[in-house]
Amino acid sequence: MPGDPAREYAAKEHALSFRDVTKTYVRSHLGRTSRFRGIEHLDLDLRPGEIFGLLGLNGSGKTTTIKLALGLLAPTSGSVSIFGHPAGSRSALALMGYLPELPYFYPYLTPREILTFYGRLSGMPHKELEAKTSRSLEKTGIERHTDRRMSDFSKGMLQRVGMAQALLHEPRLLLLDEPVSGLDPLAVAEFRALFSRLNQEGTSLLLSSHSISEVERLCHRAGILVEGRLVKIFEQKDWSKEPGLLETLFVDMIRQNGAE
Amino acid sequence: MPAYFLGHELSTAFALARHTFQEHLRNRSFSVAVLFSGVLLYMSVLMGVLAVDQEVRVLLDFGLSFIELMAFAMAAFGAASGVLREMETKTIYLILSRPVPRAAFLSGRCLGLIGSTGAAVLAMVLVHLSLLWLKGWPGQWSYAAALYGIGLKLIIAVVVGILFSLLSTSTLSALTMTTIVWTLGHFIPEIEFLLPRGAGGPAAVFLQAGAYLLPNLQLLNFRDRLDAPPLAMPGGELFWIAAGYTLFYSTACFGLAYALFRKREF
Amino acid sequence: MPSFGRENFNIPLRAVGFAAAGLCVISLLNLAVFQRFHTPFPNPSQLRPSTAEATQSTGLMALGMRRLAADLAFIQLLMYYGTPEADEGAGRAESKAEHQHEEYGGGHYSELGPRAQRIMKLDPTFAYVPLYAAGALAFNLGRAQEALDILSTAARADPREWKFRAYMAAIGAQKRGDAPAVLRELGQALDDPDCPTLIKHIAAFLNRSLGRREEAIRLYREILSSRDPSYYETARRALRELGAAIQ
């Protein structure tokens, strides 16, 4: 309930908090207006130090959820907060790192130049920028390609650079949209190990993915979005009994909610 | 506003300006435009030959006009396409997902474009001056005033271009609108002249609105008044009026652009 | 906060207010400029260009390139005057093409005056055009009155330019047949950087016909160092005839 002190206090404790968030897209064309619900009455709390997986079919609202957290979209109703700060505020953005699906980088730049640019935008002092850039590149395994142009990079390498820029300012919360999409198995394993390591260091992660197996291996909890509604949140104990159980639970939930 | 916030606004704006500057300079179409300008400048040499006794004047006028035209094309295209391209390629996500104030984003893009176009103008001016020197041009202070006016016009072109890029959904329409404003901006004295002589009606209202809202680019058109008596070398009253006009007009347009952009969703 | 949405483009009323304030600032700014600044040139609708020139002139003025429009029109004037007229007899064609000052009335070139007038309206500071056109009309084509009209218009637009009055006086002397007076009135104008080669050519001939050999040689050598090659051959021939070295 808005204004409820207990819930307000609780919101500050959460890495990411959605309070009855609805997002309606309004499209106007030739005088006709149509409305489309992207997200409906979303209530979700991400605990600090948690890895939360967001599962859903295409168009279920996963990317909308992430963009609401980043402040790239404004909720039609409800509120979103990051460690108690309103989503989109400078304080909130300073605490978050974001890896978009299919990151695009300026082709004429090198990874070092890209990270330097984004580091400056994050307000990092010049003295620590170089050290953190090198560290970020090492963490993501592209230190050998530091001075190559992005136009020469494969998809996997682009994804690594995307990860590097997300980690650059050592965020407390990482928002990852399809982080292992299109990666080879070795890269997937490396990313998985990186996420685990980050989580052990205290970073919270929100992972949006079609790869149920990755969510199964990494996440503490998983939420299922169906047509903009968060229909169910599973705990790790719900699917850890046997491999592949999360996929079964996911499919069942989709069918129950009539998404197909 | 706390000092550290202002510092962050400025530092992110400059980081974006520097990035936009580099992006624009490395853009292939930019290089083509600069090369094309060189070709046009040499063409102006041929036109000068046709003018016999007035060769230097024609070289001067053609050169300055081509420089302004090419610079406007670069500025308008960069302004009309920049933000839209960032939105299409989603590079804007990685910028706005950082603590970058939206005003800093826009001002950084403006400054970067102005800087890169200014660099292009400088390159073209150097070529032009070398040609003029070879033709025995004695030099005149009004050349510097002409460049000053070109610079002021480009500032307005960049800001107006960015405003239209936020109002429209395509680079082409933004570029078209910017070009229309550029053209009409040179016709403001004509609009002023025609209004009292017209019959009135909706056309007059439209013209009046245009006269009030469009940038008066003739005010800044020192290039066309190289030998006109009222034109003083920088330091005269017109110099300050032009600077003030450009500052206020571009700030107002920037404010409009910011109003559109501050709550824009992506 | 009240807002209206349009394809994810929610615009709070505060932003609308902000935009309205921006538009007001722009309007007030332009109002202030209207009251203080007026272009020194005639407006496009006052120019009355010929049909052929209208598109060119108007198009260039729309881009704020008035001087360029004047320059292009000037080049076209030179090409017009430099092209033999087809309606004159074959025997006179060659002399007309060279516009020898010896043959007053060579060719008609009825458009020469009007073209010059239009260029002067485009750019009243283009001092060379009235000097050139008046010189050609008065000394080559025998249309002194038309030449004086052009110079009067030029002098009204720029009263500070003394050369227009000097040329008018020279044309008056030419009408009286007073060659020494012509040279006297032209005087310093011959040394001006804006002096048309055509005028120097006329002055050189007058000096030669008056027996002022040194002055004639000086002027012919200046013609050879000018940018107008159409008088080079005549100047070389004249220098040879005067027994002077071609430098």
Please tell me the distance in Å from A49's CA to the nearest CA on chain C: 33
Q: Is the CB of C10 less than 8 angstroms away from the CB of A74? A: yes
Contact B94 A120 (CB under 8 A): no
Which of B91, B96, B101 is facing A72, going by the closest CB pair? Answer: B96
Two structure tokens written together for A57: 């079919």
Task: Look at residue C47 in the predicted model and tell me its pLDDT.
Answer: 64
Please report, for chain B, the start and end positions of each structural domain, with discontinuous segments joined by +. 10-263
**Does pLDDT of C75 surpass 70?**
yes
- B262 lies within 8 A of chain A by CB: no
Nearest CA in chain A to B104: A121
- On whether residue A109 sits in a domain, the answer given is no
Render each residue's pLDDT in chain A as its tens digit; 260 residues: 445 555 455 555 799 999 999 999 988 777 788 888 889 999 999 999 999 999 998 889 999 999 999 999 999 999 999 999 999 999 999 999 999 988 888 888 899 999 999 999 998 888 899 999 999 999 888 888 888 898 888 888 899 999 999 999 999 999 999 998 888 888 889 999 999 999 999 999 999 988 888 899 999 999 999 999 999 999 999 888 888 888 888 888 888 887 54
Whether residue B12 and residue A120 make contact (CB cut-off 8 A), yes or no, is yes
Task: Give pLDDT, residue A181.
Answer: 84
Split into its structural domains, chain A has a count of 1
Encoded tokens for A38: 């992207």
Q: Which residues pair with A19 in a beta bridge?
A: A79
CB contact under 8 A, A25 and C10: no
Give per-residue burial for A146-155: e unless 16+ CB within 10 Å, then b: eeeebeebee
Q: How far is CA C161 from CA A140, A240, B143, C121, C202, in A?
A: 75, 98, 21, 16, 22
Got the DSSP string for B66-112?
Answer: HHHHHHHHHHHHHHHHHHHHHHHHTHHHHHHTSS--HHHHHHHHHHH
Q: What is the mean pLDDT of residues B198-207?
A: 77
Rg (CA), chain A: 19
Residue of C nearest to B266 (CA): C8
For residues C40-69, give the mean pLDDT.
75
Q: How far apart are CA C216 and CA C210, in angstroms?
A: 9
Is A133 part of a structural domain of the chain?
no
Q: pLDDT digit string (tens) for B92-139?
A: 999 999 999 999 999 999 999 999 999 999 988 998 999 899 888 989
First to last CA, chain B: 27
Q: Is B23 on the interface with A (CB under 8 A)?
A: yes
Check if B199 contacts C (Cβ < 8 Å): no
- With 60 as the cut, is the pLDDT of residue B146 above it? yes
Residue A121 is nearest to which of B5, B95, B265, comparing CB atoms? B95
Please give the average per-residue pLDDT across C154-172, as a whole number. Answer: 92
The Cα C192–Cα C207 span in angstroms is 18
CA–CA separation, B98 and B88 (whole Å)? 18
Task: Kindly report the backbone phi and psi dihedral angles of residue C186, in degrees, each rounded to the nearest multiple of 5, phi listed first.
Answer: -65, -45
Mean pLDDT of C186-215: 91
Partner-chain contact A74 B265, CB within 8 Å: yes
Mean confidence (pLDDT) of chain C:
81
Tell whether C6 lies on the interface with A, counting CB pairs under 8 A.
yes
Confirm whether A219 is domain-assigned: yes
> In chain C, whose CA is at the least distance from the CA of A35?
C7
Answer whether B183 touches C (CB < 8 Å).
Answer: yes
The per-residue pLDDT for A196 is 94
User: Residue B194: which pLDDT band, with cuts at 50, 70 and 90?
Assistant: confident
Taking the C-alpha atoms of residue C77 and residue C115, their distance in angstroms, rounded to an integer, is 7
pLDDT at B58: 92
Is B164 in CB contact (< 8 Å) with chain C? no
Nearest to A180, CA basis, from A171, A165, A198, A193? A193
Neighbours of C148 (CB within 10 A): 18
CATH number of the domain enclosing A71: 3.40.50.300
Q: Is residue A107 part of a domain?
A: no
User: Are B266 and A118 a contacting pair at CB < 8 A?
Assistant: no
What's residue A58's pLDDT?
A: 87
Chain C residue with minimal CA distance to B209? C27
Q: Which of B16, B99, B266 sits opposite A90 (nearest CB)?
A: B99
Residue C228's φ and ψ, nearest 5 degrees, are: -100, 100
Taking only residues 157 to 176 of chain C, the set having a beta carbon closer than 8 angstroms to any beta carbon of chain A reads none
Q: What pLDDT, on a 0 to 100 scale, did the predictor assign at position C49? A: 59
Full residue range of the structural domain in which residue A78 is found: 5-95+171-256
Subunits close to A (at least 3 CB pairs below 8 A): B, C
A149: its two tokens: 């142009």
Q: How far, in Å, CA of A221 to CA of A111, rounded?
A: 33
Q: What is the dihedral of CA B16, B18, B21, B27, to 10 degrees?
A: -80
Mean pLDDT of B222-230: 79
Does any domain span residue A150? no
What is the distance between the alpha carbons of residues C6 and A63, in angstroms, rounded to a whole number?
Answer: 20
Per DSSP, the three-state class of A54 is strand
**pLDDT score at B2:** 45
Size of interface A-B (CB pairs under 8 A): 65
Nearest alpha carbon to residue B229 among C37, C43, C40, C194: C40
What is the pLDDT, as a whole number, of residue A235?
92
Least confident piece of the model among B21-30, B91-100, C177-186: B21-30
Rg (CA), chain C: 26
Is the pLDDT reported for residue B196 higher than 90? no
Smallest CA–CA distance from A23 into chain C, residue: C8
Q: pLDDT-derived band of residue C18, with 50, 70 and 90 as boundaries? A: confident
Q: Does B98 touch chain A (CB under 8 A)?
A: yes
pTM score: 0.86
